Amino acid sequence: MKASRTSSSKTPIGRGRSAVWQARLVLLVMINLAQLWILSAVVDAALAREFRHLGPLIVASGVCWLIALTIFLWWKPAGARRSGSA
């Protein structure tokens, strides 16, 4: 495992794949942060009984989840897609 990681990061393809994985990771972290913010806004709105805000917040959280799903399932390096493994 160690050998494969070292060798894959040496080649341009390996570096490209590594960058794609890194980008996925960063995007997912950012989406999680956005969803945390949305959750806190939901709690705030519910405690204030401002129910008209809840719908848009849930939709926003759902959109974030869909983006995360897309990144998780389909956002893969081109080589990995061709070969069927990342």
Partner 1 sequence: MSSELSSAIKNVLSDEADVRIATAAYQAEFPYERDEEAQVTRREFCGFLFLTSSALFLGAAAFSAKAAYDAKAEARFAPAAINGADAMQPGSAINFHYPTDDESAILVRAKDGSYAAFGQKCTHLSCPVHYSKQNDRLECPCHEGGFDAKTGEVLYGPPPRPLDKINIELRSGQVFAIGREVRGNES
Contacts with partner 1 by CB under 8 A: the residue count is 38
Among the listed residues 13, 16, 50, 81, the single contact to partner 1 using CB under 8 A: 50
CA distance 10 to 43: 47
How far from 47 is each of 36, 41, 44, 61, CA to CA, in Å?
Answer: 17, 10, 5, 18
57 binds partner 1 (CB under 8 A): yes
CA distance 61 to 86: 28
Residues that bind partner 1 (CB under 8 A): 1-2, 5-6, 9, 21-22, 24-25, 28-29, 31-32, 35-36, 38-39, 42-43, 46-52, 54, 57-58, 61-62, 64-65, 68-69, 71-72, 86
